[in-house]
Chains A and B, each alone.
Chain A
Amino acid sequence: QKEVEQNSGPLSVPEGAIASLNCTYSDRVSQSFFWYRQYSGKSPELIMSIYSNGDKEDGRFTAQLNKASQYVSLLIRDSQPSDSATYLCAARDSNYQLIWGAGTKLIIKP
């Protein structure tokens, strides 16, 4: 059974701090990984994709991939109240489908 696991949270972070979201995946063949943000009552919105080991930065967001440990993370610097949402991690499997985690609820406290 291919799985993507995330801590459901909620993860509470003070405004201006770094929020760290983590995800592990079971399919060693996976090569593409995605982070989506989902506000309550809205659909998922792609915020980061990562394909190679290491870090990928985009504005306040940094995705980190460690294929040896089967671990993906998302760092949000200078967290804002507008970052409060559920963050979904997904891994593309060998059948070209996305395996989704259940999401981590992030709360940024002003």
Chain B
Amino acid sequence: EAGVAQSPRYKIIEKRQSVAFWCNPISGHATLYWYQQILGQGPKLLIQFQNNGVVDDSQLPKDRFSAERLKGVDSTLKIQPAKLEDSAVYLCASSLDQTSGRVSSYNEQFFGPGTRLTVL
């Protein structure tokens, strides 16, 4: 079974430029997450999708970040314009169905390899 795919793996941009990341979740996974991880910290949830709907985007800086999952499968995360503090690893994860009431493997999240973003 293929895992979560992400691209690109690395990106270096100047501040005020724009950048986009792509994610393809594990086949059949309804829930998709974008996280930001800064060195030495746990992942910080930016946005959570259930199929093609947004479940939570409360920590997404909406003045510069946007994300979509139009067909309920793959997703893109965009930053425009980038700031120095956006330098981080951007992780995509998926789970079978995080909103299921079941306490089970449906809740398990699996991560892609991540994109390391450097803003100069």
Q: Which residues of A contact B (CB under 8 A)?
A: 4, 8, 31-32, 34, 42-46, 49, 51, 88, 90, 92, 95-98, 100-103
Q: Given A100-B43, A103-B42, A32 and B109 touching (CB < 8 A)? A: no
Number of interface residues of B (CB under 8 A): 24
| Cα distance A84–B70 in the bound complex, in angstroms | 40
- Closest Cβ of chain A to B29, distance in Å, is 13
Chain B residues 40 to 97 lying within 8 A of chain A, measured CB to CB, are: 40-45, 48, 55-56, 89, 91
Q: Is B14 an interface residue (CB 8 A)?
A: no
Q: Is B34 an interface residue (CB 8 A)?
A: no
| Cα distance A34–B109 in the bound complex, in angstroms | 9
- Closest Cβ of chain A to B42, distance in Å, is 3
Q: Given A43-B91, A96-B99, A49 and B43 touching (CB < 8 A)? A: no
The 9 closest A-B pairs by CB, nearest first: A100-B42, A43-B111, A43-B114, A51-B103, A31-B103, A96-B98, A32-B107, A102-B42, A96-B99
- Closest Cβ of chain B to A11, distance in Å, is 15
A contact residues around B108 at 8 Å (CB): 34, 46, 49
